[in-house]
Structure 1
Amino acid sequence: EMYRGDMATYFAERLDGFSISGLVRSYGNRYYRKPVAVGDIHWREPISVEMFKYAQSLTDKPVKGMLTGPYTMMDWSFNEHYPNREALAMALAEAIHQEAVELEQAGAKYIQIDEPAVSTRPEELEIAIKAMGVVTNGLKAHTLTHICYGDFEKIYPRMLDIPVDQIDLEMANSHYDLLDTFRKAPFTKAIGLGVVDVHSHVLESVDEVADGIRRTLEVIPAERIFVDPDCGLKTRTVEEAKDKMRVVVKAANRVKKELQLCPRISSSTHGAIRRARTRRASATARRTSSSRSGQWRRTRVGRSKPSTSPASPVSRSSSRMAAC
């Protein structure tokens, strides 16, 4: 994010069909150069893949691919070419889909398609849903979108139909008010739970962030909660950003310890566990074959298979968090 300048202009500069205008006020004293759609929008070449690869090379943990969504890019651009806003959004969706495919092929297991503008025009939510369907179509990665700072009561629960696996929301800045809304109509997707205010220089305490997570657990189960900042940390200094992230990690770890939760087992580890158990079961059956009947062996092997019941450690490990 720190390298991109504006999140819409960065991508527009690298797509065919856009020119870039002069400075336009965004909010407060922040300005950006607004894109102008002047021709057919087309994806030209990978935009974010090299940066993703570099970031991923620095860690063994998964790094998200980060894209700006088609509805937001449409809303934050001037349209001098397409007949209407929906047509521009759908053209952008095709281009952004291609970038998402490139990220997935580069190894991205999580792809975030930011749509901060979705909450500002409730009457156009259907356009956003339709466009996102094009972006995420066929992707195997875990997909998520970020929506922030709007009147969610006008788009909820319909926004749950946005075709992504997870929706990331600012919660700290709004004092977790959305939890009351979720009590009335359950939040059925995974949630990116914003727990620190990125528009404040004040550093939250671990206690208050942990309390926000606990409050959310009353409404949404742990396996569907991903804890993160409210929004991008670009408006904070590097040290402020690091300090806020340290608080997020400490608070999340504290609550996980309280609940005796541990990180989920990866699918590859999950498979290895199953294979090891099957091998052990087969070996046991072979060793006892001389003294037991064939029927006993079949029963023994059957019992050794991992249970698929809700209480099974293996089945629990397939969710985001598993009981230790």
Structure 2
Amino acid sequence: MSKKSYIVGFPRIGEQRELKRSLEDFWANRCSFDAVKEVASKLKSRHWNYQKEASIDFISSNDFSFYDTMLDTAIMLGAIPKRFQGLKDETLYFSMARGNKENVAMEMTKWFNTNYHYIVPELSLEDQYKLNSSKVIDEYKEAKAQGINTKINLIGPITFLGLSKRVDRGDTYELHSKILPIYEELLKEISTLDDGITIQIDEPIFVKDNDAKVLSLIKPTYDRLDAVSDNINIIVSTYFEHSNEATKVLVNTPIWGLGLDFLYGTKNIESLELIANSGKKLIAGVVDGRNIWKNNIQTTLEILKNISKTVSKDNILISTSCSLLHTPFTLKYEEKMNADIKNWLSYAVEKLDEVSLITKIFFEGVESLCEKEKVVLADNQKANASRKTSTLIHDKNVQDRVDHFTKLSRDGIYEERIKLQKEILGYEDLATTTIGSFPQTPEVRKARQEFKNGVISKENYEQQMKAYIDDCVAFQEECGLEILVHGEPERNDMVEYFGEQLKGYGFSQNGWVQSYGSRCVKPPFIYGDISRPQPMTVEWITYAQKKTQKPMKGMLTGPVTILNWSFVRDDKPRDEVSKQIAVALSDEIDDLQNAGIKIIQVDEAAFKEGYPLREENIKIYEAWAVRDFKIAVSSAHKETQIHTHMCYSEFNDIIKTIEAMDADVISIETARSGNELLKIFKEVGYKQEVGPGVYDIHSPRVPSVDEIVKQIKLLLEVLPKEQLWINPDCGLKTRKWEEVKPSLINMVEAVKIVRNELAG
């Protein structure tokens, strides 16, 4: 059989987060960068061999990164912002990603509708681009030396431009003529490495609603790139949605193949006849690269059978729907998970075997399977059948309560509520607060882990957590913050923490997924109907409130973010799952306010990233996402102030939706973009109060008082002081105390200066 099994990309952080630990040791000056490179080499070798052992035919190189592949592409093209020019090697690379003492980092935002963050390249018309192919070439040679001929993964030129920003405020696509020759030069160099090299060029921008200008770039781009050499086979890969408009163009270029997602882009089926007529290879994404459920092999074979009615089997390759970067590494370390639930799951390594088995059955038939493979197939069928009837999954009481839940919004209009709240809370204009979490120290993590492992008692654990809360409250009092938080030492993750306490949620020991750089998250997974057996946060928040006379915020994660940052069951519509979470949270809010908590923050950090990539689907998403936020807070009294927080997002297109959520205060991440994101709040006449981040918490830099004063004054150019809160960009969990303390002290001091100037 010719080469038929294909993996779009593979996780890179390591099965035990080895890259994370090595990077953080390097940043803390505990090891050299040579030591990091040694770890990276071992990881790449292991990852390639996992795929080789699973009989995967198309294995990637250049899908590995020390931080982010968009950042790698900027380095490859020589797209270096002015403020970092003159730096070299790893100093340059990590300064662009994380900032340095002199300069802020490059902006970071979400990769389409995932929770992965990419570094946003900064471009301008005066840039002079120059190829730096060393990483691409060296990685291919590294795999070749181990006997593995890889396809080479690249971010495509149109996607690179579409996801970049112009610092001189022009259109990024105007730079196409400067960028494309660099890609041609790179492909020419790649073509000399071996005979018949496959290059996967990722163009996920094609799955969005692109205008004619963008679509007009496709044919000249791929005509020119394919013409570089007869020794390369170009595959243009898209994922997360359908790309039918782009496919209509790509079939008329000389590229070798098209990678399409048939799970999240079901409308790709409409392009099959065009692909069949073109004779191109179809890389059929039919194994889910974004979720953790065991593949239903029978269902997948039906999808492939349907595809093969139009496209010849000879031209079909079996693939993951997207890179496996978005899934945890392997189930091997999940030793404590319920056996029935574990049997329903599949992580990245397990998905390799699924692709391999599906490929063999589809092309050679069930009769070609060995006895071991037949057992695997039978087990797959049993596992999928058990999910349909398991009482772990289906809870009629939950279903009935949610179906009949009638309180869909809170009492009172905003103007009435905010007047009551200000009278009760008595905070000043430019009120200072933080987003919620404080540094998770090694001691906190150790205590939490020891408690989970049964090494220390519950009493010992709670004593340590309360001591940490005492310290957090004391510091906030001392530095002069006005609205306090308890610091969240008891929380491993803002979603996993709640998942562990909600019925219908599962959690893992080692289900880590890269969020950005060395930052990993361990999303819980929703396997069944959701309910809240008992209060989740009340004891911790009320303990902290007793330690201060100042208002203490209750901290919850919102229903849409819990949904979007979880692996969600695939046997029930997402909007129904979200509503179940919202109803459970409404009970928690009622308990918090009845316990005396007057401010409750319901974070919707992932609200924007859940947006459909196609405009035709947006209104449906907005309707149920707003509905479920409002259901979650529907139990709040008029006097209870509801805050929410949103991470890096463009708000221009969703500002009316944010208004419809009807939170009393919203905090947003804006520090890396000045006050540009804030302007839309003024333009639409947004009434509610806003806390734009005044410094970037994703960088270890400590902002000076003058910097923050300048930032606050920029904010005051857009919104009046009566409407503004002052806070960091996001939670402080990932920072160190030696960064956090001076930063917050400087923030409070900056507010004092500005208040004095305004009063003067």
TM-score, length-scaled by structure 2: 0.33
Report the residue type matching 1:71 in the other structure: V
| Aligned residues with identical type, % of pairs | 38
Distance in 2 between the 1:82 and 1:114 partners? Answer: 26
Contact 2:704/2:743 (8 A) holds in 1: no
State the shift of 1:149 in Å: 0.6
Query: Match for residue 265 of structure 1?
Result: none
Q: Structure 2: how far apart are the matches of 1:29 and 1:254? A: 36
In 1, the alpha carbon distance for the partners of 2:674 and 2:716 equals 15
Cα distance in 1, alignment partners of residues 501 and 713 from structure 2? 42
Higher mean C-alpha deviation, range 72-81 or range 105-114: 72-81
Q: 2:691 aligns with which of 185, 188, 192?
A: 192
SS at match of 1:26: strand
Q: Is contact 2:586–2:635 with CA below 8 Å preserved after alignment?
A: no
Alpha-carbon spacing, 1:187–1:212, altered in 2? closer, same or farther (3 Å) = farther
Q: Counterpart of 1:314? A: none
Q: Is 1:19 the equivalent of 2:506?
A: yes
The match for 1:137 is 634
Range that drifts further, 213-222 or 127-136: 213-222
| Residue 5 (structure 1) shift | 1.4
Higher strand share: 1
Q: Indicate whether 1:252 and 2:751 are aligned.
A: yes
Contact 1:143 1:165 in 2 (8 A): yes
8 Å Cα contact 2:705/2:749 also seen in 1: yes
Matched-pair contact (CA < 8 Å) for 1:39–1:81: no
Q: CA deviation at 1:82?
A: 5.5
Give the Å deviation of 1:39: 1.6
| Contact 1:118–1:125 (CA under 8 A) maintained in structure 2 | no
| Aligned ranges 1:1-324 → 2 under 5 Å | 1=437, 2=440, 3=489, 4-21=491-508, 22-80=511-569, 83-122=572-611, 123=618, 124-140=621-637, 141-260=640-759
Q: Which deviates more, 125-134 or 211-220?
A: 211-220
- 1:129–1:163 Cα contact (<8 Å) kept: no
Cα pair 1:197 1:229 within 8 Å, conserved: yes
Unaligned runs of 5+ in 2: 1-436, 441-488, 612-617
Deviation at 1:125, TM superposition (A): 3.0
User: Match for 1:175: what amino acid?
Assistant: G
Q: Which residue of 2 aligns with 1:320?
A: none
The TM-score normalised by the length of structure 1 is 0.76
> Cα deviation per residue 1:177-226 (whole Å; 9 max; x = unaligned)?
12332343233210122111111111111122122222222322222211
- Residue type of the alignment partner of 2:727: D
RMSD, aligned α-carbons:
1.7
- Does the 8 A contact of 2:506 with 2:524 survive in 1? yes
How far 1:85 sits from its partner (Å)?
A: 0.9
**Residues 1:179 and 1:24: Cα distance change in structure 2 (over 3 Å):** closer
Q: Secondary structure at the match of 1:39?
A: strand
Q: Deviations over 1:31-84 (max 9, x none)?
A: 232212122110111111111122212211101000000001111112226621
Q: In structure 1, how many angstroms separate the alpha carbons of the residues matched to 2:756 and 2:553?
A: 25
Letter in 1 for 2:533: R
Amino acid of the residue matched to residue 16 of structure 1? K
TM-superposed deviation, 1:144: 1.0
Please name the residue that 1:297 is paired with: none
Q: Secondary structure at the match of 1:157?
A: helix
Report the Cα distance in structure 1 between the residues aligned to 2:590 and 2:750, rounded to whole angstroms.
Answer: 34
Instruction: Give the Cα–Cα distance (whole angstroms) in 1 for the partners of residues 578 and 530 of structure 2.
Output: 10
Q: How many residues align?
A: 261
Deviates more, 1:234-243 or 1:10-19: 234-243
Letter in 2 for 1:10: Y
- 8 Å CA contact retained: 1:46, 1:99: yes
Q: Distance in 1 between matches of 2:752 and 2:698?
A: 24
Question: Residues 693 and 726 of structure 2 are in contact (CA less than 8 Å); yes or no, is this contact kept in structure 1?
Answer: yes
**CA offsets, 1:241-264, max 9 Å, x none?**
111111111111111111229xxx
Q: What residue ranges of structure 1 are gaps of 5+ in the alignment?
A: 262-324
Q: What secondary structure sits across from 1:167 in the alignment?
A: strand
Residues 187 and 220 of structure 1 are in contact (CA less than 8 Å); yes or no, is this contact kept in structure 2?
no
| Greater alpha carbon shift after TM alignment, 178-187 vs 103-112 | 178-187
Q: Aligned partners of 1:60 and 1:166: how far apart in 2?
A: 21
Distance verdict in 2 for CA 1:136–1:151, change over 3 Å: same
- Return the alpha-carbon distance in structure 1 between the equivalents of residues 537 and 635 of structure 2: 19
Q: Which residue of 2 aligns with 1:284?
A: none
Structure with more contact order per residue of length (Cα contacts < 8 Å, sep ≥ 6): 2
Q: Distance in 1 between matches of 2:602 and 2:571?
A: 23
State how far apart, in whole Å, the 1-side matches of 2:571 and 2:745 are.
45
* Contact 1:66–1:111, Cα closer than 8 Å, also in 2: yes
9-18 or 217-226: bigger deviation: 217-226
**Is the CA contact 1:13–1:20 (under 8 Å) kept in the aligned structure 2?**
yes
